[in-house]
Amino acid sequence: MAELESEIQSVKQRFGIIGNSPLLNNAVRVAMQVAPTDMTVLITGESGVGKEIFSKIIHFLSPRKHGQFIAINCGSIPEGTIDSELFGHEKGSFTGAHEARKGYFEVTNGGTIFLDEIGEMPLGTQARLLRVLEYGEFIKVGSSKVQKTDVRVVAATNVNLLRNVEEGKFREDLYYRLSTVPIYVPPLRERGKDIELLFRKFAADFAEKYKVKPITLTDEAREALLKYRFPGNIRQLKNLVEQMSVLSTDNKEITLEKLLEYLPRETSLPAVVPRTGNGTQDTLTERDLLYKVLFDMKKDVMELKKIVLELLTRSADTGQILKDNHSLFEGLQPATPAPASSPDNRVLNLQPVVPHEEPIEIQDISHEAEDETLSIEEKEKELIIRALRKNNNRRKYAARDLGISERTLYRKIKQYHLEDL
């Protein structure tokens, strides 16, 4: 046991991993044990936890360490070119293919390929990847010749691939083929006092880089830092320390008040991804976030309309106002109507406001929320159309306005048949 712990510490030091939390040490241990094999590995964890470091541990501790190591972000390659990037293409196979090109699986023969954001890979490319994993074979785009390759695949994701499998966005056979050995990299908030160790390391690094005195924390500031959720994980902590190192010119001791000036305030939207029981990650899709925003907006509007209606019932001009705007208040009535002896009782009969003679009843808002879910796709489609028109159909900027990736926008455009918009 002591020997294993010594080996783990040695590997962490070699690859620059800071921390001693049990979850982190377990991830390093699994990476060390699987490295000498050719088994496919799936690394899961939130964005910013350092998943690529574990892929390098697996490669450089394996017999393939003298071969090539290539890290590829599947989410950053357009869907139309990812097959060419991974498997290569022949000359003239598509517009712009002026010469033949080798793909990563051919170039990295005998080495390791790290496929980050594997959940963003298109279904067609997933089928090609499955062929490589099972038979070591691939076919270039525009060719009919089967080629062999000996490449180890290490994949990573920050989304719940099982959910994507259920939604038809990820192949089930590929999921089980990739997750032969799963490695879970814990988020920063689950690593306890590792946060303080990383803070000191970054503070020393930036002090040397910018030729300044390293920043320190008061006891109160240290406690607040350890309790912060860090939705951006190590990347966010590093940026935070760099900001404070540069901008804290007068006093290098960071107090609680000064720390709170740099820490971003928590938002109402979930900034972190809860851990599921099987060690994978749950995350909100764009659709989930859109529904949450629309539902909250609808709830706010309904509450506002009830307040306005309540105020109008106490006005002498209520009858005319409600008549002119009856569509806004249809289906609503004051929560606390004025008593019968009220001098304004003459305006509290709301029946003439609507175009029928049935008494108005307050509707159950929960039913309206259920109806809203039935039309959420239309709302999403409408937002995409508006964003495309606003940006003159420039999808890069439309995706930025919508807060989603270009790949997701391309998929939504195809899903809603908006190619000719």
Q: What is the DSSP string of 14-62?
A: HTT-----HHHHHHHHHHHHHTTS---EEEE--TTS-HHHHHHHHHHTS
Length of the chain: 421
Question: Domain ranges in the chain?
Answer: 2-186, 192-262, 286-374, 376-415
Q: What is the pLDDT of residue 147?
A: 96
Query: What's 238's DSSP letter?
Result: H
- Separation between Cα atoms, residue 108 and residue 136, nearest integer Å: 13
- Burial-class residue 306 by CB neighbours within 10 Å (0-12, 13-18, 19+): middle
List per-residue pLDDT tens for the chain, 421 residues long.
788 899 999 999 999 999 999 999 999 999 999 999 999 999 999 999 999 999 999 999 999 999 999 999 999 999 889 999 999 999 988 888 889 999 999 999 999 999 999 999 999 999 999 999 999 999 999 999 999 999 999 999 999 999 999 999 999 999 999 999 999 999 999 999 999 999 999 999 999 999 999 999 999 999 999 999 999 999 999 999 999 999 987 789 999 999 999 998 754 434 433 343 344 334 445 555 565 566 667 766 776 777 677 666 666 566 666 666 666 656 555 555 444 444 444 444 444 444 444 444 444 444 444 444 456 778 888 888 888 888 888 888 888 888 788 888 888 888 888 877 7
- Separation between Cα atoms, residue 97 and residue 89, nearest integer Å: 8
Q: What is the pLDDT of residue 321?
A: 63
Q: What is the pLDDT of residue 117?
A: 95
| 376-415: CATH architecture | Orthogonal Bundle (1.10)
Phi and psi at residue 52, to the nearest 5°: -65, -30
Is 1.10.1740.10 the CATH number for 192-262? no
Q: What is the pLDDT of residue 364?
A: 46
* Fold: same for 192-262 and 376-415: no
Task: Report the phi/psi class of residue 391: left, alpha or beta, with left for phi > 0 and alpha for psi in -120 to 50.
Answer: alpha
> Cα dist. 255→189, 221, 235, 247 in Å?
21, 5, 22, 14
Query: What's 74's DSSP letter?
Result: G
Q: In sequence order, which residues have a C-beta less than 8 Å from that of residue 181 and are 6 or more positions away?
A: 30, 34, 39, 40, 41, 42
- Separation between Cα atoms, residue 221 and residue 198, nearest integer Å: 15
The answer to whether 213 and 231 are in contact (CB under 8 A) is no
- Separation between Cα atoms, residue 169 and residue 163, nearest integer Å: 9
CATH class of this structure's domain 2-186: alpha beta
- Separation between Cα atoms, residue 207 and residue 50, nearest integer Å: 23
The model's pTM is 0.63
